Amino acid sequence: MTPTSVRSGASTAQPTDPRCLHCKEPLVQDDIWGWMHEGQRYLCRDPRTGELLTQAATLI
Ligand SMILES: [Zn+2]
């Protein structure tokens, strides 16, 4: 019960933590493009190889 433990990575699900349907990376909402991956990257990246994919960021 510490007041500063909100963003400490607890195992409980966070409803305000948007993730990509394809690569599970965190998403941020852009005013123009809509949902994008962190770092202003629109296309997905393979989590294992780092290769850019053809899928666009999609909110789960
Ligand atoms: Zn993605």
Query: What's the pLDDT tens digit per position in 19-53?
Result: 999 999 999 999 988 999 998 899 999 989 999 99
pTM of the shown model: 0.66
Please give the distance, rounded to the nearest whole angstrom, from the Cα atom of residue 49 to the centre of ligand 1.
Answer: 14
Spatial contact of 22 and 43, defined as CB atoms under 8 Å apart: no
Please give the distance, rounded to the nearest whole angstrom, from the Cα atom of residue 15 to the centre of ligand 1.
Answer: 18
Alpha helices for the chain (secondary structure H): none
More confident residue, 5 or 44: 44
pLDDT (mean) for 1-20: 62
The model's confidence at residue 16, banded by pLDDT at 50, 70 and 90, is confident
Q: Where are the domains of the chain?
A: 17-60
Coil, strand or helix: which one is 20? strand
Please give the distance, rounded to the nearest whole angstrom, from the Cα atom of residue 1 to the centre of ligand 1.
Answer: 34
